[in-house]
């Protein structure tokens, strides 16, 4: 069907050009008495015939180009197409106004060539500005709308925006976010940016077996969240072409939408705090629900390996919390009772420092 349409367009263009150009061409060639040919109907048929012959080698490239353009427009997010078209419209409008003013200048080059060049230039600039500034324009429209509403409407809109929980790559691969969503502790809309999906796919296609398994695990977790859990999931198809790092894109997206970044990345957590972006750290939640251990309490542990410092031993609780046992190197492979001396807790995890109870008793005695 598309080929037929393109061939019809070629015939129409050929017929039109034949009416206007073939008579001039005959006069330039001094063809003599060509009254029969120099007829609008005959020239139209000749022009259409010439362009029909051109379709035998030109129709395939034109068809492929049209299909490529169609696929590109279909794959592009609607915001990109919309703002690019708006920018193109304003660019052409500015070019028309400037060209209309130049028509008053009676200089052949200025009033003929210049408007065409201005149309191409301002059309291109308008499209690029509309396309690349789409996120800022969306933020501008949302802010102007927010200013025009009442205070209660502002609070309601902010609450809805806060319901956007934007997942980063690390928390998806970690997998615990699916269990948290299932228990109902994570409310609102789960937002998965397209650039995070692309990073996951890149990891899943890695030649390294460990990375490939982590990427596939992340895709399985997303599939579970989307299909098995009763929670709203949205795919954000926008991107920030001027930013390379995925973490930086997440921070900017959270700023523009007033959403909340969900992560277990300690560094991303700090960046969000510095840039005043709301963040939920899965590790903070895990640490918060761990049993509280206070200095002076007794624990029964098994020392399994050396510590970094001299004569230290390392043990772990059932939840994975690391215990650094001072003077515990001699007890490697043994289960002993220890006394907690201090607890260090950060977003990266919890660490407990302790001493063997037997050693403490010997010092006291």
- The residue segments making up the domain with residue 138 are 78-142
Residues 275 and 307 both lie in one domain: no
Bridging pattern class, strands 305-306 and 322-325: unpaired
Residue 23 covered by a domain:
yes
Nearest-angstrom CA–CA distance, 301 and 236: 47
Angle (CA) 10 11 15, round 5°: 115
Residue 327 covered by a domain:
yes
Residues 62 and 87 both lie in one domain: no
Residue 252 covered by a domain:
yes
Residue 363 covered by a domain:
no
User: Is residue 185 within 8 Å of residue 159, measured between CB atoms?
Assistant: no
User: Is residue 250 within 8 Å of residue 193, measured between CB atoms?
Assistant: yes
CATH code for the domain in which residue 348 is found: 2.40.50.140
The pTM for the full model equals 0.45
For residue 353, what are its two tokens? 């420092």
Residue 314's beta-bridge partner residues? 305, 324
Q: If DSSP codes are grouped into helix, strand and coil, which group holds residue 110?
A: helix
Residues 12 and 56 both lie in one domain: yes
pLDDT at 364: 47
Residues 236 and 177 both lie in one domain: yes
Residues 37 and 123 both lie in one domain: no
Query: Count of domains in the chain?
Result: 4
Residues 282 and 297 both lie in one domain: no
Residues 37 and 1 both lie in one domain: yes
Residues 176 and 268 both lie in one domain: yes
Q: Which of 28-37, 58-67, 140-149, 320-329 ranks highest by mean pLDDT? A: 320-329
User: Is residue 282 within 8 Å of residue 262, measured between CB atoms?
Assistant: yes
- Where a domain ends, among 288, 313, 342? 288
Residue 181 covered by a domain:
yes
Residue 277 covered by a domain:
yes
- Where a domain ends, among 288, 312, 343? 288
- Where a domain ends, among 16, 45, 75? 75
Nearest-angstrom CA–CA distance, 137 and 156: 22
pLDDT at 32: 52
CATH code for the domain in which residue 282 is found: 3.40.50.1010
The H or E element that residue 277 is part of is none
Mean pLDDT of the chain: 79
- pLDDT single digits (tens) 20-59: 777 767 676 665 555 555 667 777 787 778 777 777 777 7
- pLDDT single digits (tens) 268-318: 888 898 988 888 888 888 777 777 788 888 888 899 998 888 889 999 887
Residue 150 covered by a domain:
no
């Amino acid at each position: 069907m598309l080929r037929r349409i393109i061939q019809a367009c070629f015939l129409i263009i050929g017929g039109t050009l034949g009416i206007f150009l073939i008579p001039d061409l005959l006069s330039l060639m001094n063809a003599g008495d060509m009254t029969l040919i120099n007829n609008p109907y005959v020239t139209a048929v000749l022009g259409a015939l010439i362009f029909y012959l051109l379709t035998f080698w030109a129709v395939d490239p034109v068809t492929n180009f049209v299909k490529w353009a169609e696929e590109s427009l279909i794959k592009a997010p609607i915001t990109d197409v919309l703002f690019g078209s708006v920018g193109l419209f304003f660019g052409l409008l500015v070019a028309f106004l400037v060209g209309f003013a130049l028509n008053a200048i009676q200089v052949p080059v200025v009033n003929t060539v210049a408007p065409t060049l201005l149309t191409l230039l301002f059309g291109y600039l308008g499209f690029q500005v509309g396309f690349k500034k789409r996120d800022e324009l969306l933020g501008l429209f949302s802010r102007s709308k927010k200013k025009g509403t009442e205070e209660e409407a502002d609070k309601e809109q902010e609450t809805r925006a806060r319901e956007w929980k934007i997942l980063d790559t690390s928390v998806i691969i970690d997998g615990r976010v699916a269990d948290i969503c299932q228990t109902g502790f994570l409310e609102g809309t789960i937002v998965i940016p397209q650039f995070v999906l692309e990073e996951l796919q890149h990891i899943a296609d890695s030649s390294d077996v460990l990375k490939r398994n982590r990427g596939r695990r992340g895709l399985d977790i997303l599939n579970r969240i989307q299909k098995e859990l009763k929670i709203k999931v949205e795919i954000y198809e926008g991107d920030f072409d001027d930013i390379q790092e995925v973490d930086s894109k997440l921070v900017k997206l959270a700023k523009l939408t007033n959403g909340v970044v969900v992560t277990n990345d300690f560094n991303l957590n700090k960046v969000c705090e510095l840039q005043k972006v709301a963040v939920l750290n899965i590790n903070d939640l895990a640490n918060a629900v761990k049993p509280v251990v206070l200095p002076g309490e007794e624990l029964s542990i098994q020392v399994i390996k050396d510590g970094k410092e001299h004569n230290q031993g390392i043990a772990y609780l059932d939840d994975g919390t690391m215990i650094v046992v001072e003077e515990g190197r001699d007890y490697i492979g043994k289960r002993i009772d220890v006394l907690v001396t201090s607890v260090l807790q950060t977003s990266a995890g919890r660490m407990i420092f302790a001493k063997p109870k037997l050693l403490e008793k010997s010092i006291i005695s």
